[in-house]
């Protein structure tokens, strides 16, 4: 029976030693994996920091551009309102001036025709048309 007890104790001791060796190997592997994960996290953290700063500067640039566009739109709107007010103020004066200019040019044309006709001894076109109208009536 003593042999059985010695063999049993030896088997149990061997199993415990093997279990301890496997646990030590597993802990060493866990430690290596933890170191690799730490390195990876440090690298990723650095990259995330760089990306974050790039995104931040990009967002700031977009905000600046949006403000510029908004300012341009406001300026354009103000200019359109000013042009509309200017047009409403100037248009009546220009229309009146153009009508007066057309009347003066018509008078000058008739005057030139009259002078030309009198120099050549002909009736002006306006007198001819007046003469025709009188005949038709």
Write the pLDDT tens digit of every residue in 20-40: 999 999 999 999 999 999 999
Please state, in angstroms and rounded to a whole number, the distance separating the CA atoms of residues 80 and 49: 46
Contacts of 131 (CB under 8 A, 6+ apart): 123
User: What is the pLDDT, as a whole number, of residue 77?
Assistant: 93
Please state, in angstroms and rounded to a whole number, the distance separating the CA atoms of residues 123 and 132: 12
Higher pLDDT: 6 or 132? It is: 6
| pTM reported for the whole predicted model | 0.42
How confident is the model over 49-71, as a mean pLDDT? Answer: 93
Domain boundaries, the chain: 2-136
């Amino acid at each position: 029976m003593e042999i059985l007890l010695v063999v049993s104790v030896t088997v149990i001791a061997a199993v415990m030693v093997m279990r301890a060796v496997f646990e030590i190997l597993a802990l060493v592997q866990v430690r290596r994996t933890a170191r690799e994960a730490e390195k990876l996290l440090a690298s990723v953290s650095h990259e995330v920091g760089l990306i974050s700063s790039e995104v931040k500067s990009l967002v700031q640039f977009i905000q600046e551009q949006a403000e510029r566009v908004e300012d341009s739109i406001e300026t354009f709107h103000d200019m359109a309102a000013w042009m509309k007010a200017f047009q409403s103020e100037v248009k009546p004066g220009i229309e009146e001036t153009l009508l007066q200019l057309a009347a003066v040019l018509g008078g000058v044309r008739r005057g030139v025709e009259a002078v030309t006709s009198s120099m050549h001894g002909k009736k002006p076109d306006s007198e001819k048309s007046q003469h025709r109208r009188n005949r038709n009536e």
